[in-house]
Amino acid sequence: MKIVVSMDVEPDLHTREFNGVVEGIPVFLNLMNKSNIKSTFFTTCDCINKYPIFFKELIFQKHEIALHGFTHNRFDEMSFEEKQNQIKKSISCFKKNLEISPTGFRAPQHSVDKSTLFLLEKTDFQYDSSYTPFNFFQLIFFPRISTLKNFFTPTKKYLIRKNLLEIPTSSFIIPAVSLTFRIFPKPLLRVYSGVLKFLFREVILYFHSWDFIDNKSRISRIFPKERLIKNFEYFLKLNKGAEFVTANTLCEN
């Protein structure tokens, strides 16, 4: 089994500041370095423009920097011209600050649509990672993010367009995301890990940069980041034999 540990990097959810970048990512990296894991950071360009040296260092450390939008705005609410401009500006941002072109994309709030996929393929992206199939939690509580059509998309990587791969984030009723690691007790996390092993050859996890800071959300007060960190460390121990890879490497086979 291969596991991709990914992070959506964006301004902090509740304050719109960048504490998740300067404080949260170093906490996350400490966890990754202990197990020698390379991660994929889906990053908005306002973060890259503010901290270019920081993200260049992540590339030097062999992590992947992929695109999460020029800013954290939903793509399905933009006109075609706005999407085109966002992607064009984002590619310029990557080239200017990081000296690379992004090859992977995850839409803010999973808001990908057909015209966005068309533009990604047209601008030589290799993959999208915006869909989360079989996510009952998202379908019920966030219907704006997840539709029935998106719910029944394939659970493994597939060609979504002729030259564009879809690498969906993993889910079985509840998605393999930070909230799951916050709220599950260890026995349930062990069962959930076993289900992922059974169902998926390639597991795609994702967190947010602001998950690893103290924030003002109710969830964070009830289930603090320390619990998230301990549970994620436990998950890594449970999956010691897995191969941890960056998302772009899944395009190679």
Phi, psi for residue 149 in degrees, rounded to 5: -60, -45
Query: What residue numbers bound the domain in which 237 lies?
Result: 2-252
Distance CA 108, CA 215 (A): 20
Cβ proximity of 7 and 47 under 8 Å:
no
Cβ proximity of 108 and 72 under 8 Å:
yes
Q: Quick one: average pLDDT of 1-23? A: 95
Q: Quick one: average pLDDT of 64-80? A: 97
* Res. 220: pLDDT tops 90: no
pLDDT score of 71:
97
Cβ proximity of 208 and 68 under 8 Å:
no
- In eight-state DSSP terms, residue 44 is -
CB 159: neighbour CB atoms within 10 A? 10
pLDDT score of 146:
54
pLDDT band of 139, cuts 50, 70, 90: low
Cβ proximity of 48 and 93 under 8 Å:
yes
Give the CA dihedral 108, 111, 113, 119, nearest 10 degrees.
Answer: -10
pLDDT score of 151:
61
The pLDDT tens digits for 181-196 are 999 999 999 999 999 9
pLDDT score of 152:
60
Q: How many separate domains does the chain show?
A: 1
Q: In 3D, which of 20, 42, 33 has the Cα closest to residue 244?
A: 33
* Res. 252: pLDDT tops 60: yes
pTM assigned to the model:
0.94
Cβ proximity of 7 and 32 under 8 Å:
no
The pLDDT tens digits for 144-184 are 655 555 666 667 899 999 999 999 999 888 889 999 999 99
* Res. 119: pLDDT tops 80: yes
Average pLDDT, the chain: 92
DSSP character string of 10-25: -S-TTT-SSHIIIIIH
Q: Amino acid identity, residue 143? A: P
* Res. 116: pLDDT tops 90: yes
pLDDT score of 145:
56
Domain of residue 35, CATH code: 3.20.20.370
